[in-house]
Amino acid sequence: MTGPDDVLLVHGGTPLEGEIRVRGAKNLVPKAMVAALLGHGPSRLRNVPDIRDVRVVRGLLQLHGVTVRPGDEPGELVLDPTYVESANVADIDAHAGSSRIPILLCGPLLHRLGHAFIPGLGGCDIGGRPIDFHFEVLRQFGATIEKREGGQYLEAPQRLRGCKIRLPYPSVGATEQVLLTAVLAEGVTELSNAAVEPEIEDLICVLQKMGAIIAMDTDRTIRITGVDKLGGYNHRALSDRLEAASWASAALATGGNIYVRGAQQRSMVAFLNTYRKVGGAFEIDDEGIRFWHPGGSLNAIALETDVAPGFQTDWQQPLVVALTQASGLSIVHETVYESRLGFTSALNQMGAHIQLYRECLGGSACRFGQRNFLHSAVVSGPTKLQGSDMVVPDLRGGFSYLIAALAAEGTSRVHGIDLINRGYENFMQKLKDLGANVEMPGGDPVA
């Protein structure tokens, strides 16, 4: 159940116009914080967003004796792991269900303490993200794993050893697990079919600054030569390309014009190409990217999500809202998370015409094609959206509902908006800065 503070009234029909700033990537910053556990000496992480995942990891690190304090500049954290210690199981368990990040503490804690306890994991319900990848990887390094009440207990009877690992799918989380474990393992680790997202590359940069030896090949192979000791790092996190694309889609869906300070072209090339095909306009400078709707009709497109360097799955949901305003039939084939298109049912209630299919409607077959998942969509547009009551299903779906409500005629009630705080820093203030007409029930208007 959501309370009154977790509901937002959105009065739609106003184009979003103005400037907002995106800071460090949600998919990098918490992992870089975990990496600080590996160092002998303090680390400095800059461009840190104030989001829930960061607060969860900060709490977990502090439970294990890591000192975390603000740095000299806004958005800077200083993390000192000098006095790492075992945490009380009940305290760790209090974080169960709040994030999926805790599993990434396994490797660093095994290196520092010889054991770790990982509570049950939370995160967005967008499809299977099995943690067996993680535990199988850790077993190959030499860890033993025992299921206990409330989570998993891991031990490393002796120093973890490098090994050869081939992932069945280029999982971002499993790739991060290997990197955070292999850097201090004895010998060489060879990881095949690794994820190569920009956030993975940035994590490698963090680890290299600490003294790690990591080589990336062009065939998704990463080789890590273990070292005996790592130091701290001083790093500025890359900007959040997923948040930037969400605001870009909001500009397109509402007929607006948004300058996203901090957005970076290099990590958004695939999105920018698709944005231009749909009919969106953008302009890039050294400080960010301006996104706007240039007027006229938007174009229907065929879109297929994929792991990097393809079109990212987290870009898909916000863009689908804009596609409801494009002329013709757009085809969306989701190949990363089998349940990610479930959010479209609420869009249909608002007046969109979106039909889901079990078949692979993209250019290639994917692993969901024969498994009875509704993972392809046909979006028929343009359609007028009407205000509605909606419950946020997941992080990106929730922001997509905000976009739809802002583009719609009339008033919408969006329930469960607190979930959006997991990955969108201060999004209420950003809505205000862009002229959105939103308010909390019974409270003052946000704008």
Query: Catalytic residue numbers?
Result: 124
Token readout for 375 is 């993972």
- Separation CA 42–CA 81 (nearest Å): 7
Enter the tokens of residue 149: 């009440």
116: tokens are 């770790």
Q: Is residue 431 within 8 Å of residue 424, measured between CB atoms?
A: no
Q: Say how far apart CA 143 and CA 24 lie, in whole Å.
A: 32
Say which DSSP state 419 is in.
G
CA dist 303 and 331 (Å) reads 6
Strand partners, 304: 333
DSSP 195-264: ---HHHHHHHHHHHHHT-EEEE-TTS-EEEE--S-B---EEEPPB-HHHHHHHHHHHHHHT-EEEEET--
CB 71 within 8 A of CB 235: no
Which residue is associated with the tokens 């779906």? 397
Q: Are 26 and 265 in contact (CB under 8 A)?
A: no
Q: What angle do CA 199, 200, 201 make, to 5 degrees?
A: 90
β-sheet bridge partners, residue 292: 257, 281
Rounded Cα distance between 271 and 289, Å, is: 12
CA 159 to chain CA mean position, Å: 32
